[in-house]
Structure 1
Amino acid sequence: MNLNRKIKPDFIYNSQLVARIINKIMLNGNKSIAEKIFYSAFSKILDDVKSDSQQFHLDGLEENDRNSPVKVLEFILSKITPTVELRSKRVGGSNYNIPCPVDQKRGLSIAINWLISAFRSRNEKTAIDRLVKEMYDILSNRGTAVKSMLDNKKMAEANKAFSHLLNGKKK
């Protein structure tokens, strides 16, 4: 029995990734408000990426991909997607944070969660401005979501000595 539900793609970009982000932005079932926030913010970001502002680090994004909204979103999320996550394991009365490799789907979920939590913790006046500024910060390699990714990487490096406790299990 497959417990994962199929997410319907959004109606503008026909992308499941966009639909996942909109569902994460949504509060109290107000999907239309979440869609308005995402589409408004993302159109601002696309305009700036297409104009090729020099303030953004667009090294991995090809010129023809800058016109594809889904490719731009994938590029933004790839900048904060982790390759390793920390799992807590109790061994002999002590808890150890063990670095575990993550697959692409789990890494993308973590990146989306970091993006949304960073967007919610910002202080700009409107939600659209908060999302735009957080994505700008990700493109400029700064901000709360990038800090979460770097902290995760640092902690995984520090706890590399405990990776033998994993014993090949992914749980």
Structure 2
Amino acid sequence: MSRRNVAKKRTIHPDAIYNSRLINMLTVRILKNGKKGLAQRIIYKSLDFIYNKTKEDPLKILEKAVRNTTPLVEVKAKRIGGSTYQVPMEVRAYRGTNLALKWITKFAIDRTGNTMSIKLANEIIDASKENGNAVRKREETHRMAEANKAFAHYRY
């Protein structure tokens, strides 16, 4: 454990076009090698693709996708008496949103397709319809927590 001061919470500014903090958080998840403009271009193209495919507001679909993939509980490894237990812990809202965005981008990268913007758009649409790899990951996390419910009394 660090003896230094606790890291200060950074404020997240909304993006320029959609005025949404969620899109800015997604930009940070896609960002590679400091190329923020490229990450934003990928996201805006994917949001246009979502609009063309569904004829609905892409921001609402993104919010629904994040809501569907946000986990409520997760397991954390805790060492007690020489053995390691998977202890189920509740997930705070900010961490849950970050996990959801992380899973959406990870499974979008792993998808087969032409461009990253199309793959990201398809993953977001699938997550908003409650099927897709990111939603499956959330269900798997919940199952792990349910299976290790016996160790819940080890929570810190």
Instruction: Output the TM-score relative to the length of structure 2.
Output: 0.89
Give the one of 90, 106, 114 matched to 1:101.
Answer: 90
Q: Which moved more, 1:2-11 or 1:98-107?
A: 2-11
Residue 152 of structure 1, CA deviation: 0.2
Q: Cα deviations across residues 23-44 of structure 1 (Å, max 9, x unaligned)?
A: 1111111111111110111122
Aligned to 1:19: 24
Instruction: Output the TM-score relative to the length of structure 1.
Output: 0.81
CA distance in 2, matches of 1:43, 1:124: 17
The answer (yes or no) to whether the contact 2:62–2:124 under 8 Å persists in 1 is: no
**Are 2:50 and 1:45 equivalent residues in the alignment?**
yes
**Are 2:78 and 1:89 equivalent residues in the alignment?**
yes
The answer (yes or no) to whether the contact 2:29–2:105 under 8 Å persists in 1 is: yes
The residue correspondences of 1:5-154 to structure 2 (distance < 5 A) are 5-50=10-55, 66-67=56-57, 69-154=58-143
CA distance in 1, matches of 2:117, 2:7: 35
Q: Cα deviations across residues 107-126 of structure 1 (Å, max 9, x unaligned)?
A: 11111111111111112121
Q: Which moved more, 1:77-86 or 1:121-130?
A: 121-130
CA distance in 2, matches of 1:25, 1:83: 23
The answer for unaligned runs of 5 or more in structure 1 is 51-65
Aligned-residue Cα RMSD (Å) equals: 1.6
Q: For 2:140, what is the secondary structure of its paired residue?
A: helix
Across the two proteins, how many residue pairs are aligned to each other?
151
Residue 2 of structure 1, CA deviation: 5.9
CA distance in 2, matches of 1:70, 1:139: 11
The answer for unaligned runs of 5 or more in structure 2 is 1-5
